[in-house]
Chains A and B, each alone.
Chain A
């Protein structure tokens, strides 16, 4: 077991590996989602349904607000003493017969997992849906090493077979409808019945047949983890299909990749999260499948267990006093489902495996603001995400914080920064400010009216009329009365 110290040496996630950076800015990438009526319908339907369902089961709990506060407090405490808890976790996992690996970034994590799989001699692994392995681009790394990863979560499988990228944390194929899914299966799924219809039951049955065969013939599995209990060394995965449980119990070797922020101090802490997560996320009272394991048990389940603790920028996030609250995230996706921007633009617009409001704050922190500078602006600051978040991450506050970082990261002045400085100067000089108001009014009377604002503000008047210019400002009215 090699051990690298990474805590206290914050570095951002490396470029060129994994999926935290998009090729385009948010406004450019959003254009495709906005122009796709099928996607818009799918998203509206899915988010509206899940919002209603989640709202219903949350309303059943009289102590929801206390639960949220407890969840936030446990996570804040965890982050405050993360090094100590991770060491405790390492000790307990090791005692229970597991092997712990520390990965400073995506490159290192991919290498560790690839080497572990190679050592088993197999060329195919089954996977439980995992955000961490998507984040580091593990599938691509495995393929490059001649190993075939097979996703076993139904939606994740659809995305994988479709050569596509997930667009939602919880429902990765939210952007696909069943006709599209049928086509993907017919084209890509080995041994599929050519008379397959787009009936959801038939589609699920086809996937099940394919997955059963794969489960029974693949001795190595790779998973993520929802929680890791420091006091006992227990790992937990919650899911709703049972495919995860198959991956966690059937193979001989299990490799779990876990973001370091997923640790919780004690077993009792799970009580809070196992209530918060399903209600906020799928709108269920309880997760259909909650699997927990501690190291290895001779004669039962995987006989080799590896835990890869992943940093990949998390220490950098932790180092930022305002920003670190993003590490409380339990990936429930509630913020996506209430976000009006996500609902229109779709998950791909965020260019990262973490879409929606949490993606808009987490991705730029993991990569460094320079590489995702448009994301903190992909919000109206309406605050719906903050109200929905089961661990009370103040996403609007974080967005504003990151916008300031984005602005201050510019070495040279931009057109915007010059305009903003000029506006601030005028606003700090009331005479100048009043003169500016008059000038704006005059220029509008002088022919701009009806044609809207000049660039770059014409984005606004492209679809909206400015109101009729008032005859006088309030200031003038007050002076005249």
Chain B
């Protein structure tokens, strides 16, 4: 199948490994990935901050760029949420009914990664190998806006070597919320503190999620506290294979060790 990648601006700039992993995974599963060049950002930041008028050209650009593809995937629950629940709204508010209709059509063909894999491609075992203890943060937009449900967990449960540990209060927001983390930095930090407390309580090596923004937020907090626990995008787990893991370890040597094994200095926070 030919699948267009909507990389999302944050993954493109700050989390390219998630997008690269998405490409590798889909190609390994035998699909052709296209990267439409004119794409930039879905405009979610503008819409969620109140700049709906500024978002209109971004919606139009997104629709123009992706209109010709039958299947579009993004490794981000919140950006797919924006495409599905905000694009038509922004267009209608600006009085552009035609754009709204086209946006709805693109939205119907746009999937979050776990939806694409499970619903469209019909796979849960993607042949991945990831020998680590992983806890999964479902992220608000994936679970409440998109209702991806247990799809990510079904995918993770088929990954060889992976131990999935339950995240307490998993459905609670991590406190990112885009501009919320800037405008209400202190409340955001308090929410993040609880999320980190729960992640550490699992004793997991890494916290996984399907949204670069939440990962950047949680990862930024875990790093600041020197917890030794990292974050990883679902796509990276699903893309990793035994072969890749071995060759990566050879190339990176001790760096890889430090990044993915439980660090000795991590606080003893197991329940």
Interface on A for B, CB 8 Å cutoff?
A: 26-27, 30-31, 34, 40, 340-341, 344-345, 374, 376-384, 386-387, 400, 403-408, 416-417, 420-421, 423-424, 427-428, 430, 433, 437, 440-441, 456-457, 459-467, 469-470, 472-475, 477-478
Shortest Cβ distance from B8 into A: residue: A474
User: How far apart are the CA atoms of A26 and B175 in the complex, in Å?
Assistant: 16
Shortest Cβ distance from A466 into B: residue: B220
B202 interfacial contact with A, CB 8 Å: no
- Would you give the 0/1 interface string for B17-32, flagging 1 where the beta carbon is closer than 8 Å to chain A? 1011001000000000
User: Which residues of B from 176 to 224 have beta carbons under 8 Å from A?
Assistant: 176-192, 216-217, 219-221, 223-224
Chain A residues near B126: list those with CB within 8 A.
Answer: none
User: How far apart are the CA atoms of A107 and B63 in the complex, in Å?
Assistant: 51
Interchain CB contact under 8 A, B58 and A381: no
Chain B residues near A31: list those with CB within 8 A.
Answer: 186
Instruction: Please judge, given known A-B contacts A383-B145, A467-B216, A474-B20, whether A345 and B187 are in contact too, CB under 8 Å.
Output: yes
- Cβ of B5 to closest chain A Cβ, rounded Å: 9
Q: Looking at the complex, which one of B38, B40, B172 makes contact with A340 (CB distance below 8 Å)?
A: B172
Shortest Cβ distance from B231 into A: residue: A467
Chain B residues near A430: list those with CB within 8 A.
Answer: 37-40
Q: Looking at the complex, which one of B41, B171, B187 makes contact with A344 (CB distance below 8 Å)?
A: B187
User: How far apart are the CA atoms of A470 and B11 in the complex, in Å?
Assistant: 10
Interchain CB contact under 8 A, B183 and A377: yes
- Cβ of A445 to closest chain B Cβ, rounded Å: 14
- Among B44-52, B108-116, B238-246, the stretch that binds chain A is B44-52
Chain B residues near A379: list those with CB within 8 A.
Answer: 177, 180
Instruction: Please judge, given known A-B contacts A381-B48, A386-B144, A467-B216, whether A462 and B41 are in contact too, CB under 8 Å.
Output: no
Q: Can you list 19 A-B pairs, Cβ within 8 angstroms, ordered by A? A: A381-B180, A383-B140, A400-B47, A407-B52, A416-B49, A420-B46, A420-B51, A423-B46, A424-B43, A424-B57, A428-B40, A437-B12, A437-B13, A459-B181, A463-B224, A464-B221, A467-B15, A470-B13, A474-B19
Q: Looking at the complex, which one of B7, B145, B173, B177 makes contact with A474 (CB distance below 8 Å)?
A: B7
Q: Looking at the complex, which one of B13, B41, B144, B181 makes contact with A387 (CB distance below 8 Å)?
A: B144
Interchain CB contact under 8 A, B9 and A427: yes
Q: Which of A423, A457, A463, A470 has the most CB of B within 10 A?
A: A463
Interchain CB contact under 8 A, A34 and B9: no
Interchain CB contact under 8 A, B47 and A378: no
Interchain CB contact under 8 A, B51 and A30: no
Instruction: Please judge, given known A-B contacts A403-B49, A430-B38, whether A34 and B190 are in contact too, CB under 8 Å.
Output: yes
User: How far apart are the CA atoms of A30 and B186 in the complex, in Å?
Assistant: 8
Chain B residues near A441: list those with CB within 8 A.
Answer: 13
B93 interfacial contact with A, CB 8 Å: yes
Chain A residues near B220: list those with CB within 8 A.
Answer: 460-461, 464-467
User: How far apart are the CA atoms of A408 and B247 in the complex, in Å?
Assistant: 54
Interchain CB contact under 8 A, A474 and B11: yes
Tally of contact residues, B, Cβ under 8 A: 67
Interchain CB contact under 8 A, B181 and A460: yes
Q: Which of A344, A374, A466, A477 has the most CB of B within 10 A?
A: A344
Shortest Cβ distance from A470 into B: residue: B16
9 closest A-B pairs by beta carbon, nearest first, are A380-B177, A464-B220, A459-B185, A403-B50, A407-B50, A383-B144, A382-B173, A382-B140, A424-B54
Interchain CB contact under 8 A, B58 and A427: yes
Shortest Cβ distance from A394 into B: residue: B85
Q: Looking at the complex, which one of A341, A404, A477 makes contact with B93 (CB distance below 8 Å)?
A: A404
User: How far apart are the CA atoms of A430 and B49 in the complex, in Å?
Assistant: 22
User: How far apart are the CA atoms of A233 and B180 in the complex, in Å?
Assistant: 45
Interchain CB contact under 8 A, B173 and A380: yes
Chain B residues near A340: list those with CB within 8 A.
Answer: 172-173, 175, 191
Chain A residues near B184: list those with CB within 8 A.
Answer: 26-27, 30, 341, 377-378
User: How far apart are the CA atoms of A381 and B85 in the complex, in Å?
Assistant: 13
- Cβ of B128 to closest chain A Cβ, rounded Å: 20
Chain A residues near B38: list those with CB within 8 A.
Answer: 430
Shortest Cβ distance from B93 into A: residue: A404
- Cβ of A247 to closest chain B Cβ, rounded Å: 38
- Cβ of B137 to closest chain A Cβ, rounded Å: 12
Chain A residues near B176: list those with CB within 8 A.
Answer: 380
Q: Which of B23, B144, B179, B187 has the most CB of A within 10 A?
A: B187
B159 interfacial contact with A, CB 8 Å: no
- Cβ of A118 to closest chain B Cβ, rounded Å: 45
- Cβ of B236 to closest chain A Cβ, rounded Å: 13
Chain A residues near B40: list those with CB within 8 A.
Answer: 427-428, 430, 433
Interchain CB contact under 8 A, A421 and B54: yes
- Cβ of B170 to closest chain A Cβ, rounded Å: 12
Shortest Cβ distance from B38 into A: residue: A430
Chain A residues near B217: list those with CB within 8 A.
Answer: 464
Chain B residues near A473: list those with CB within 8 A.
Answer: 12-13, 16
Q: Which of B54, B145, B192 has the most CB of A within 10 A?
A: B54
Interchain CB contact under 8 A, A424 and B182: no
User: How far apart are the CA atoms of A472 and B20 in the complex, in Å?
Assistant: 11
User: How far apart are the CA atoms of A446 and B166 in the complex, in Å?
Assistant: 41
- Cβ of A162 to closest chain B Cβ, rounded Å: 25
User: How far apart are the CA atoms of A30 and B58 in the complex, in Å?
Assistant: 34
B106 interfacial contact with A, CB 8 Å: no
Chain A residues near B191: list those with CB within 8 A.
Answer: 340-341, 344, 380
Interchain CB contact under 8 A, A460 and B13: no
Interchain CB contact under 8 A, A463 and B182: no
Q: Looking at the complex, which one of B37, B54, B93, B144 makes contact with A420 (CB distance below 8 Å)?
A: B54
B14 interfacial contact with A, CB 8 Å: yes
Interchain CB contact under 8 A, A382 and B16: no
Chain B residues near A421: list those with CB within 8 A.
Answer: 51, 54
- Cβ of B70 to closest chain A Cβ, rounded Å: 20
Chain A residues near B12: list those with CB within 8 A.
Answer: 437, 473-475
Shortest Cβ distance from A428 into B: residue: B57
Interchain CB contact under 8 A, B175 and A380: yes
Interchain CB contact under 8 A, B9 and A477: no
- Cβ of A259 to closest chain B Cβ, rounded Å: 28
Chain A residues near B37: list those with CB within 8 A.
Answer: 430
Q: Which of B178, B190, B216, B219 has the most CB of A within 10 A?
A: B190
User: How far apart are the CA atoms of A345 and B16 in the complex, in Å?
Assistant: 35
B61 interfacial contact with A, CB 8 Å: yes
Chain B residues near A423: list those with CB within 8 A.
Answer: 45-46, 54
Q: Which of A26, A404, A464 has the most CB of B within 10 A?
A: A464
- Cβ of A433 to closest chain B Cβ, rounded Å: 5
Q: Looking at the complex, which one of B9, B19, B144, B224 makes contact with A465 (CB distance below 8 Å)?
A: B224
Q: Looking at the complex, which one of A40, A459, A477 makes contact with B182 (CB distance below 8 Å)?
A: A459
B234 interfacial contact with A, CB 8 Å: no
User: How far apart are the CA atoms of A341 and B140 in the complex, in Å?
Assistant: 14
Shortest Cβ distance from B19 into A: residue: A474
